[in-house]
Amino acid sequence: MDTAIDVGAFAAQVARNCLVADAQRWGHFSLCGLLLRLRELYKREAGLEPWARVETAAVLPWVGEREASWAQLEDVELAPLRVGGATLDPLDEDGANRLLIPNRWLYVAGHGPGGHPLFVLGEILEHRVLEGGLELFTVGRELVHDLVPVPAMCRPGRIVARLAAVRGHLWATLEEAAGAREPSPAEDAVAEAGGALASLVANPEAHGTLLEDLAQRQVVSAIAHELGELAEDQRRRGAWERLLLRARGTRAEMPARALKDALADAGGDGQLEALIRQRDRVGLALRAAAGPWLLRKILPEARAIWRTSCAGRWDEAETLRRAAAARLELKLGGLFVLFDGDPPLAEVARRAELLEKDLTGGA
């Protein structure tokens, strides 16, 4: 018999731990970056769509309250969680999920960039088991969300796809593309899906069906990226885990994560291979248009693959993907020696900067 859970009470506990975690990490963002994340967090907590227009005057008082809360929690520890009569460590995902999953909720607790804790509590839309016993969860409504949501994430034994985060990332990609000086692959993605980018961005409320279609496609793409990460981990036999643990909070962390993401996309059993196999021009276009600046620079072949797919040259697209994976493989030598000799942080930063220049062609 399933244990009855007061999910509201549990969510309040997780939300407090989210505040504690954010209090420890908010100083790592630039002012612009922080304000952008807070604006998006405001929308999520208010239950607004990613494309909702909010006046700055409405957001600023909430931002002030959030920053005041962080100031009070900077030196506070994460609190244990009480759920279903049990008291759990806040990082005990499995203990919480034994009680939550039968009630259609999923708890995610781990560490993000910089080693900072992150927590999510979401309603399960789909749960299935993939080949090899890997569990796949898709969550929709989130009662608690982290400051920097990612579309999907690998957890021990499972992949978690987050529809709300996917929709937020999708809208950011479309909005950026609509305001860009140069034509964007996102224009092709929207056209291929049966719409027009300018019209969609100008009036998103009138294009709800199109947005949801694009979002569902992006969920599939995000899952393919996570499967690529798992494949990349298996190829390196634990080397990535050791490196990223060592790189936490250093200048080396960003290029290390970006290179791993690029290999997860370009490598065998990764995102681009899946999109090419599925003949998914929309997914390839959105992949070419989206992503952090560094990842775009490290994997410029994503655009070439998209262009090739537009001409229906799918075999050539696969050849380009394989060549990109081989090129990136050659960059691993410089990455995995960043910490050789246990260098001081200043030397790590120097080596990481040189690696980043090599990865981006000096850009």
What is the rounded distance in angstroms from the CA atom of residue 56 to the CA atom of residue 50? Answer: 15
What is the rounded distance in angstroms from the CA atom of residue 355 to the CA atom of residue 343? Answer: 15
CA atoms within 13 A on the CB side of 117: 23
Q: 173: burial class by Cβ within 10 Å (0-12, 13-18, 19+)?
A: buried
- The DSSP secondary structure of 17-69, one letter per residue, reads HHHHHHHHHGGGS-HHHHHHHHHHHHHHHTT--TT----HHHHHHHHHHHHHH
Q: 56: burial class by Cβ within 10 Å (0-12, 13-18, 19+)?
A: exposed
**237 within 8 A of 243, measured Cβ to Cβ:** no
Q: Say how many C-beta atoms besides its own lie within 10 A of residue 54's C-beta.
A: 14
Q: Say how many C-beta atoms besides its own lie within 10 A of residue 314's C-beta.
A: 15
Cβ contacts of 99-107, under 8 Å, gap ≥ 24: 99/3, 99/5, 100/5, 100/7, 100/10, 101/127, 102/2, 102/3, 103/2, 103/4, 103/5, 103/7, 105/5, 105/7, 106/137, 106/139, 106/160, 107/14
SS3 269: coil
Helix H or strand E segment including 244? helix 239-247
pLDDT of residue 5: 82
How many residues in the chain? Answer: 363
Cut 0.85: pTM above it: yes
pLDDT of residue 3: 67
Q: Chain-centre distance of CA 218, in angstroms?
A: 12
Per residue of the chain (363 residues), give pLDDT as tens.
Answer: 466 789 999 999 999 999 999 888 876 777 787 888 888 999 998 999 999 998 888 899 998 999 899 999 988 999 999 998 889 999 999 999 999 999 999 999 988 877 888 999 999 999 999 988 999 999 999 999 888 889 999 988 999 999 999 999 999 999 999 999 899 999 999 999 999 999 999 999 999 999 999 999 999 999 999 999 999 999 999 899 999 999 998 999 999 999 999 999 999 999 999 999 999 999 999 999 998 889 999 999 999 999 999 999 999 999 999 999 999 999 999 999 999 999 999 999 999 999 999 999 865
**230 within 8 A of 271, measured Cβ to Cβ:** no
